[in-house]
Amino acid sequence: MSKEIRCIRCQGRKKLYKINSCYSHVNTGGVLVNCPMCLGTGSMKSSQEIIDEIGNRNNNVEEET
């Protein structure tokens, strides 16, 4: 079972304001964009799931070569 946690950048809000190369929760003249860390979903996978996926990808690459 996948245990998803709230995104640490947008804190589950899904949208942020982008000003130059910085992101903010408060509109200070920026453009409203999807969160680049969670891609607008508001949640992320647990760290253990991410580690497992990376391990599986590495194993697949080693098997193909």
Q: Could you please report the per-residue DSSP string of 29-49?
A: S-EEEE-TTTTTSSEE--HHH
Report the 10 Å Cβ neighbour count for 10: 21
* Local mean pLDDT, 10-residue blocks, the chain (65 residues): 76 90 89 90 82 80 62
Distance CA 16, CA 14 (A): 7
- pTM score of the predicted model: 0.61
| DSSP SS3 for 16 | strand
